[in-house]
Structure 1
Amino acid sequence: MSLKKFVSTCIGIVVGGIAGWLINSATVGKYNVINATCSVINAAVDNKLLAQDQVRSLGQASQKHLLNTAAGDAFQLDEQQIQAASTHSNCSQFMVGMSSH
């Protein structure tokens, strides 16, 4: 392998790795955090460890601890999404709580 091909391959691997990390952080990582959290919240409500009317308050309390973190940022909704959030969905109500300022 010539030096030029080797350098090109190394640059391609680095650029590809960075692009993959950015895509994962912006999409897959965000949805993995949301999916895991919503699963835990639903299990807590189903097992009566948390009342359904407390889910939004849990989101508000969690937002204070997760402010400016990747996990906290994953749950941020804009005003239109907050207005459209289902009152019957534990996950939606948690996200509304997390989006409260």
Structure 2
Amino acid sequence: MNQQEEAVRKSMEKQRELEEVEREFRQLKRQQEDLLAQVGNAWRGNHSENKLGAIALDLTQEQRMTQKRLYNLDDQIQAEHKQAKADVERAEEAKADATH
């Protein structure tokens, strides 16, 4: 039963880590948007706007890929957590059955 409880604890730690990564991701996204706005204000002219658009497109694509990885990690953590909880419940049921 200790292994199952450890698995649940690790799963919960992973969940907290994921939440922290998501918070950092949102903060990074805000910082990137601020940077793009500052660069856009600093650069003037048609050429700079095209360049800025390309940079924004690259950043958006990178953000989508990172968000997809975060979603996949969250799905994995949720599945591990669910499995660990089920293992704990089965172990508790087996223990209860053994004592009766």
**Fold shared per TM-score above 0.5:** no
Q: Which has the higher helix share?
A: 2
TM-score of the aligned structures, taking structure 2 as reference length: 0.40
